Structure 1
Amino acid sequence: MPSAVPAPSDRPRPPPLDARARAALDDEAGLADSTRWFDAPDGSRRAETRLALSGLYCAGCAGVIEAALRALPGVERAEVQGSAERAQVCWRPDALRASQLVEAVRAAGYDAHPARSEAALEARAREGRRALWRLFVAWFCMMQVMMVATPSYVSGPGELAPDLEQLLRWGGWVLSLPVMLFSAGPFFASALRGLRQGKVVMDLPVALGLLIAFLASTAATFEPGPPGPGGDLGGEVWFDSLTMFVAFLLAGRWLELRGRERVARALDSLLRELPDSVERRDAEGRIETVAVARLAVGDTLRLQPGQAVPADGRLVEGRSSFDEALLNGESRPVPRGPGEAVVAGSLNLAAPVWMQVQALGADTRRAQIVELMERARSARPALARTADRWAGPFLLGVLLLAAGAWAVWRQIDPAQALPVAVAVLIVTCPCALSLAAPATLLAAAGGLARRGVLVQRLDAIEALARIDTACFDKTGTLSEDPLQLAEVRGGPAAPAERAAWIARALALAAGSSHPLSRALAQAGGPGTAVAEPLFVGDRVDEPGAGLAATDAAGRSWRLGSAAWVGPGAEALAEPARPAGARPWKGRPVVFLAPQPLAEGEQAMVFEFDERLREGALPLLAALQAEGLGLELLSGDRPAAVQAFGARLREAGAPAMRLQGAATPQLKLARLQDLQAEGHRVLMVGDGLNDGPVLAQADVSVALGHGAALSQQQADLVVLGSRLPEIAAARQRARKALAIVRENLVWALLYNLLALPLAMSGTLAPWAAGLGMAFSSLFVVGNALRAGR
Structure 2
Amino acid sequence: MSAPPLGLHAAEADARLLAPFTTWPDGPGGVAVSQFQVAGMHCAACSGIIEDTLGRLPGVEGASVNAASARLALRWQPSRLPLAEVLAALQAVGYQATPDVAASARELRRREKRQALWRVFVAGFLMMQVMMLATPAYVAAASELSPDLDQLLRWGCWVLTLPVMVFSAGPFFSGAWRQLRAGRLGMDVPVALGIAVTFVASTGALFDPRGLLGHEVYFDSLTMFVALLLLARWFELGARHRAAEALEAVAGALPTTAERLLPDGRSEQVPAERLAVGDRIRVKAGEAFAADGTVLAGQGWVNEALLTGESAPVAKAVGAAVVAGSLSLDGVFTVAVQRVGADTTAQGIVRLMQQAQSQRPGGHGLLDRVAAGFTAAVLLLAIGAGWAWWWIDPARAVAVAVAVLIVTCPCALTLAAPAAWLTASGALARRGLLLADLSALERLCTVDTVVFDKTGTLSEDRLRLSAHWSTSGDADALLALARGLATFSRHPHAQALADGGDGAHWADVQEVAGRGVQATDVQGRPWRLGSPGWVSADPDPRARLAFGREGAVLWLDLEEAPRADAAEAVAALHAQGRQVRLLSGDQPVAVARMAEQLGIDDWRAGASPDTKLAAVRGWQAAGERVLMVGDGINDAPVLAAADVRIAMGQGAMLARSAADALLVSNRLMAVPQALALARRTRRVLGQNLAWAALYNLACVPLALAGWLPPLAAGIGMASSSLLVVLNAQRLQR
Give me the identity figure in percent.
50
1:385 paired to 2:331? no
1:729 paired to 2:674? yes
Partner of 2:638: 693
Q: Shift of the alpha carbon at 1:139?
A: 1.5
Distance 2:373 2:285 in 1: 60
Whether the 8 Å contact between 2:453 and 2:630 is mirrored in structure 1 is yes
Counterpart residue type for residue 663 of structure 1: S
Distance 1:258 1:189 in 2: 21
1:201-600, aligned counterparts within 5 Å?
Answer: 201-223=186-208, 227=209, 230-262=210-242, 273-274=253-254, 303-305=284-286, 307-312=287-292, 319-337=299-317, 342-349=322-329, 351=330, 353=332, 355=334, 358=337, 361-482=341-462, 527-528=512-513
Partner of 1:743: 688
Counterpart residue type for residue 333 of structure 1: P
Partner of 2:654: 709
Whether the 8 Å contact between 1:464 and 1:733 is mirrored in structure 2 is yes
Counterpart residue type for residue 370 of structure 2: W
Secondary structure in structure 2 of the residue aligned to 1:470: strand
Secondary structure in structure 2 of the residue aligned to 1:344: coil
Whether the 8 Å contact between 1:256 and 1:780 is mirrored in structure 2 is no
Whether the 8 Å contact between 2:294 and 2:320 is mirrored in structure 1 is yes
Counterpart residue type for residue 166 of structure 1: Q
Q: Shift of the alpha carbon at 1:135?
A: 0.8
Q: Shift of the alpha carbon at 1:182?
A: 0.4
Structure 2 unaligned regions, length at least 5:
1-14, 22-99, 467-489, 497-508, 516-537, 546-556
* Residues 419-455 of structure 1, C-alpha deviations (whole Å, 9 max, x = no match): 1111111111112222222232222222222222221
Counterpart residue type for residue 577 of structure 2: G
Secondary structure in structure 1 of the residue aligned to 2:662: strand
* Residues 288-328 of structure 1, C-alpha deviations (whole Å, 9 max, x = no match): 9x7966975658656344x5444546667764321112444
Give the TM-score normalised by the residue count of structure 2. 0.69
One of 135, 140, 144 as aligned partner of 1:150: 135
Q: Shift of the alpha carbon at 1:659?
A: 3.7
Counterpart residue type for residue 647 of structure 1: R
Whether the 8 Å contact between 2:345 and 2:650 is mirrored in structure 1 is no
Counterpart residue type for residue 599 of structure 2: A
Q: Shift of the alpha carbon at 1:186?
A: 0.7
Q: Structure 1 residues 649, 691: CA separation in 2 closer, same or farther (over 3 Å shift)?
A: closer
Partner of 1:186: 171
Counterpart residue type for residue 303 of structure 1: K
1:628 paired to 2:578? yes
Q: Structure 1 residues 398, 279: CA separation in 2 closer, same or farther (over 3 Å shift)?
A: same
Q: Structure 1 residues 748, 145: CA separation in 2 closer, same or farther (over 3 Å shift)?
A: same
Whether the 8 Å contact between 1:190 and 1:203 is mirrored in structure 2 is yes
Counterpart residue type for residue 189 of structure 1: S
Counterpart residue type for residue 621 of structure 1: A
Distance 2:231 2:16 in 1: 41
Segment of structure 1 superposing worse, 706-715 or 404-413: 404-413
Distance 1:116 1:390 in 2: 40
Counterpart residue type for residue 633 of structure 1: L
Whether the 8 Å contact between 1:380 and 1:438 is mirrored in structure 2 is no
Q: Shift of the alpha carbon at 1:130?
A: 0.9
Distance 1:739 1:267 in 2: 27
Counterpart residue type for residue 366 of structure 1: A
Q: Shift of the alpha carbon at 1:740?
A: 2.1
Segment of structure 1 superposing worse, 453-462 or 715-724: 715-724
Distance 2:540 2:308 in 1: 41
Distance 1:713 1:581 in 2: 42
Distance 1:246 1:180 in 2: 9
Secondary structure in structure 1 of the residue aligned to 2:400: helix
Whether the 8 Å contact between 1:299 and 1:357 is mirrored in structure 2 is yes
Q: Shift of the alpha carbon at 1:279?
A: 8.4
Q: Shift of the alpha carbon at 1:396?
A: 0.8
Partner of 1:647: 593
* Residues 656-686 of structure 1, C-alpha deviations (whole Å, 9 max, x = no match): 2x34454333332332333333321111222
Secondary structure in structure 2 of the residue aligned to 1:132: helix
Q: Shift of the alpha carbon at 1:172?
A: 1.8
Counterpart residue type for residue 349 of structure 2: I
One of 92, 106, 114 as aligned partner of 1:121: 106
Secondary structure in structure 1 of the residue aligned to 2:445: helix
1:756 paired to 2:701? yes
Q: Structure 1 residues 185, 738: CA separation in 2 closer, same or farther (over 3 Å shift)?
A: same
Structure 1 unaligned regions, length at least 5:
1-26, 34-114, 487-509, 531-578, 589-606
Q: Structure 1 residues 291, 400: CA separation in 2 closer, same or farther (over 3 Å shift)?
A: farther
Q: Shift of the alpha carbon at 1:387?
A: 1.4
Distance 1:580 1:663 in 2: 29
Counterpart residue type for residue 628 of structure 1: R
Partner of 2:153: 168
* Residues 381-400 of structure 1, C-alpha deviations (whole Å, 9 max, x = no match): 12222211211111111111
Whether the 8 Å contact between 1:249 and 1:770 is mirrored in structure 2 is no
1:670 paired to 2:600? no
Q: Shift of the alpha carbon at 1:262?
A: 4.5
Aligned residues: 578
Counterpart residue type for residue 619 of structure 1: A
Secondary structure in structure 2 of the residue aligned to 1:717: strand
Partner of 2:567: 617
Q: Structure 1 residues 274, 666: CA separation in 2 closer, same or farther (over 3 Å shift)?
A: closer
Distance 1:251 1:769 in 2: 13
Whether the 8 Å contact between 1:323 and 1:332 is mirrored in structure 2 is yes
* Residues 451-492 of structure 1, C-alpha deviations (whole Å, 9 max, x = no match): 222211111122223201112233443345445899xxxxxx
Distance 1:694 1:177 in 2: 58
Q: Structure 1 residues 610, 296: CA separation in 2 closer, same or farther (over 3 Å shift)?
A: closer
Whether the 8 Å contact between 2:137 and 2:150 is mirrored in structure 1 is yes
Distance 1:529 1:279 in 2: 32
Distance 2:732 2:685 in 1: 13
Give the TM-score normalised by the residue count of structure 1. 0.65
Partner of 1:681: 626
Counterpart residue type for residue 631 of structure 2: D
* Residues 574-616 of structure 1, C-alpha deviations (whole Å, 9 max, x = no match): xxxxx9987x89x99xxxxxxxxxxxxxxxxxx9855545433
Q: Structure 1 residues 268, 443: CA separation in 2 closer, same or farther (over 3 Å shift)?
A: farther
Counterpart residue type for residue 196 of structure 1: R
Secondary structure in structure 2 of the residue aligned to 1:761: coil
Q: Shift of the alpha carbon at 1:189?
A: 0.6
